[in-house]
Each structure stands twice: as structure tokens, then as C-alpha cells.
Structure 1
Amino acid sequence: MPPISRGEVSYITGAASGIGRALATLLIAQGGRVIIADLNSEAGAEFASELNKKAGSIIAIAIKTDTTVWEDQVAAFQQAKNTFERIDYVFANAGIAEHPWLPPFDPETATSRPLVKPDLATVDINLTGQLYTAALALQTFERQEIGPSGFRGKLILTASVFAYYPSRAMPLYAASKAGIINFMRSAAQYYASKNITVNAVAPNLVDTPIAPDVLFVPFRERKLLSDMQLVLDQFQKFLGGSTINGQALSISQDNVWVHPADTHMFEENDPACELISVELFKLFGDNTL
């Protein structure tokens, strides 16, 4: 699998724990430098300190970042550029588990309860926050020259198999991850000719602090968790000189696959879908063909 070039820089949201922390560790081991963008400033700073102490130099910086706040992410990107001059890889990874968006369904008590505003925290973090990261990544790449691996930059988003499969207990989590996958596929087409790749990794449940540990117990007992190393292996496939673009690499336990785009009725819809892109680019003043 393609390694990164020594000294390349990665901006990782949610890097103080879970998949993000594992990614940072992997990239540092390959000679990279990392920006740990995480809301948990204490854990992020401690992790960066550990990495720097072991390396004997500044190879990691931690920046307190609420990914749902645009200004936070702008400041984090700017600090990253000021410290390391460029950013080669951006991992839009920060996410949370499902927050119940409505009260449990109960017709017997419904009339005695007021209508409530839905809790959209899951979408705010898992979709809007990642799109803020993506927007800054793509504009940063646009403003820098081609790097040592032959690209202006690479954007990798963390999705989930629930981007494809419904979950009656996680409608907003599924909606947010489906949004990430369709954004990835669309952006990958747009940036394909611009020395920028856009991809996603979509695992099933991985043993991380994203949820209380008690949730993972039955999954451990039934061996239904996806292995962290296998997840990292899929991220690795997009790095370095890899030309992969627009793929959703998916993991469930020991199974790995490239999840195909939906082609049902594609031929019938493609002429209109393609024409809308052409016409919208004209309206947007974009010279992309």
C-alpha cells in the first residue's frame, strides 16, 4: 500500500481519540507530521506532547477545534499552515453517535407533550462539520502547488456502512453518513482533473470512545466489531501516489469492499443529470466542463 512521503502534513479532525488518533499514529510512524484538531483540547495537547517527545522535534500540534464552528476550523487551518507551511492530507473524521432527534414514539402520552424542536446535533457534527473541513481542505489545496506525492492535496472523509444501509435507531446518523458519501462521489468528479482526490472510508462498528463502552460488550461477545488495523489499511490505500478517486472503501468485521454507486435507472437519468451540471456551471461562472 502506498506510504506517504516523509514530512508530508495531515490535518485530522477528531484526532485525540478513536480512528483519528490511530490515523495520526500511523502517519507519524511513516515520517509524517500531523495537526490534531479536536474539541478535547486537553487530550489533544497530551497526545501531541507524547508524539513530539518521542520524535525529539515538533511533528504534531494540537488545536482546540469545534468542527461545527466555521471560524474554529478556519483558525485551525491557518495555524496548521503557519506551522508546517502546507497541508497534504485532510481527514474529515470527527463524528458522534446518534443523539435521539425526537422523543420515543408513544401515542398514549403524545397529546400531553408539546411539540419539540428536533435535536440535529448528529447532523451538525457528522455532516456540516465534515463539510466545513472539506471546504477548507479544497480551498487550501487550490492555493498550494503540487506536493511530493504528485498532488495538490487529498481529502479523505470518514463515513459508515450506514451511509448505504438504513437503521431504525439511527436515522440522523444514517442521513449524515449518506450525505458524506454522495458529497464525496460528486466532489471527486469535480476535482478529478485538478490534482486532488476525494475518497471515503466507511466502516461498520469499530471499538472507539464514540459511544459508552457498555454498547460494545454484546458486539465483542458476538465478534461483530471491525478491526482498527483493517480500517487503517483502507485509509492507507488513498495516500502517497495512489490515484484512487471517488471510492467508498467499506469494512465490516473481516470483509472489505468498494461500495458501488447506485446505478438503478442510471441510463435513463444520466442525460438530465449531466445536463444540469453543464447548465449550473454556466450559472455559477465555473469553466469546468
Structure 2
Amino acid sequence: MPAISRGEVSYITGAASGIGRALASMLVDQGGLVVIADLNGEAAAKFAAELNEKAGSVVAISVKADTTVWEEQLAGFQHTTSKFKRIDYVFANAGIAERPWLPPFDPETAATRPLVKPDLATANINLTGQLYTAALALQTFERQEIGPSGFRGKLILTASVFGYFPSKAMPLYAASKAGIINFMRSAAQYYAAKNITVNSVAPNLVDTPIAPDTLFIPFRERKLLSDIQLVLDQFKKFLGESTLNGQALSISQDNVWVHPADTHMLEVNGPACDLISMEILKIFGDKTQ
């Protein structure tokens, strides 16, 4: 299983709990340095202190950042490069569960209710927030030399199987994760020859604080949860000298698979899709082929 080189730096959003916390612990155990970035600054600082106490040295720092606020994320990255000089891995992991974006459908009362502005918090955090993280990661990688593992940097985004499968109860969650998957595949193509990899890990439901514990009870009873260690094992596959790029490693219970890109009608659409990429890059003044 690939591993990081000792002293490599990982920036992890949503790292004070859940998958992000487990990731940080794993990376420190491999000899890495980690940045605990989280909206809950107090929890992030406490966790970083715990990691440092256990290691007997400074292996972690914390930053408080709302991922939907560009300026806060920018400050977090700047603090990290000031402290550790470079960032080898960025894990765009922060996310929330579905929130009701519209009131429940009820034609009998609809006429008596005002039209309401939708709650887009799920999309703002799970898509826009991750794209802010990605934008900072990719620009940081561009500004630094190739690291000990042979790359300028690696971006790994936390997606979900709901990036492939629709959910009538979670339209914004599904939309945001689908956006992450297609962004990952597109960015991976662009950066493929630039010593930068872009990948994603897409689990089904994992027992974390992302949702109230009562939600997980029926899933535990029916053994429908994905094991967090199996999820971590998929993140490991992208580390170190791994050349994997553009992959969506997916987990559901004990099942692990690389989810394929949609190729339906690609033979017909491929030439136009390739040409529009070339022409738009020209318009943008980008010499990438």
C-alpha cells in the first residue's frame, strides 16, 4: 500500500471529526505533518494538541476556516506554507448532510404559503467550499517544486456514491457530489502532465458525526454502513509514489470499486467535446494541450 514520505505535509478540511480526523491520525502515524482545518476552531486546536502531545513534537497545526469563505481558506493555506513551507497533499473533505432546501411538497397548503428562497447550504459547503479548497491547492502546487514522492502535489476530494446515484431525499447532496466527481475527472485530465494528481474517494454512509446518531441506528441493524478503515484504505492508494489519477474509489459496506466514467454516446460526442476543450483553452490563453 502506498505511503507518504516522512515529513510530507497534508492539509485536511473538516479534520476535527469523522473521516478527516481519522485521516489526520493515519497520516501522522505514517510520519507526516498535518494541518487540522475546521469550522470548529476550538476542536481543531484541541485535536492538533493531542497529536503533538502523542508524538512528542509538532506534527500538527490547526486553522479555523469556514470553507465557504474564500478569505478564511486563503488565510489557512498561507499560514500553512508559512509554517511548513509547502503542502504535499490537500484533502478537500469538509461537508455536511442534506438540509431541506424547500418545504415538504403539500399542494393543499401551498397556496397559503409564500414562495421561499431555497436553502443552498448543502451545495455551498459540499461543492463551492470544496472548489475553494481545490483552487488553493492547485495554485499552491503550481508554485512549488516537485516533492519527495515525485509530485508537485496531490488533491484528493471526498465525494460519495450519491455522486453517481440520485436520491429523492437528498437532491442537493447528490448534485454537489456529482459536481465533485465531474470536477475531479476534468481537473485530473488538465493536470495529468503537470506532476499533479486529482482523485476522489466516494463512500456510501459512514458512521460519523455528519448526521444525528439516530440516523445510523437502522443502518447498523441492517449492516449497511461502510467501515471507516476501508474508507481510509482507499485514501492510502493515492499517497506517496502512486500515479493514480482521475479515479473515483468507491466503498459500500465491504465492496470496493473504481467507478467508471460515463461513456454512453461518448463515441458520438467525443470529437466535439475534445475540440471545445482545445478551443476554450486557446480563448483563455492557456497553452495546455
Q: What residue in structure 2 maps to residue 202 of structure 1?
A: 202
The residue aligned with 1:116 is: 116
Deviations along 1:217-249, one digit per CA (max 9) or x if unpaired, are 000000000000000000000000000000000
SS of aligned partner of 1:86: coil
Pairing of 1:43-58 with structure 2 (within 5 A): 43-58=43-58
**1:42 positional shift:** 1.2
Matches within 5 A, 1:255-270: 255-270=255-270
Alpha-carbon RMSD across the aligned residues, in angstroms, is 0.3
Pair 1:233-2:237 in alignment: no
Matches within 5 A, 1:54-203: 54-203=54-203
1:3 and 1:175 mapped to 2: Cα distance? Answer: 32
**Partner deviation per Cα, 1:149-201 (whole Å, 9 max, x = no partner):** 00000000000000000000000000000000000000000000000000000
1:24 aligns with 2:19: no
- CA distance, structure 2, for counterparts of residue 59 and residue 85 of structure 1: 14
Shift of residue 54 of structure 1? 1.0
1:262 is paired with a residue whose SS is coil
Q: Which amino acid aligns with 1:175?
A: A
TM-score by length of 1: 1.00
1:282 matched residue in structure 2: 282
2:276 partner letter = I
1:55 positional shift:
1.1
Return 5+ residue gaps in structure 1 as ranges. Answer: none
Deviation at 1:57, TM superposition (A): 1.1
After superposing the two structures, state which structure 1 stretch, 52-61 or 201-210, moved more: 52-61
- Give me the whole-angstrom Cα distance separating, in 1, the residues matched to 2:195 and 2:35: 22
2:267 aligned counterpart, secondary structure: helix
Do structure 1's residue 220 and structure 2's residue 217 form an aligned pair?
no
Question: 1 CA distance for matches of 2:45 and 2:280?
Answer: 44
Tell me, which stretches of 5 or more residues in structure 2 are unaligned? none
Which amino acid in 2 is paired with 1:223?
Answer: K
More moved, 73-82 vs 51-60: 51-60
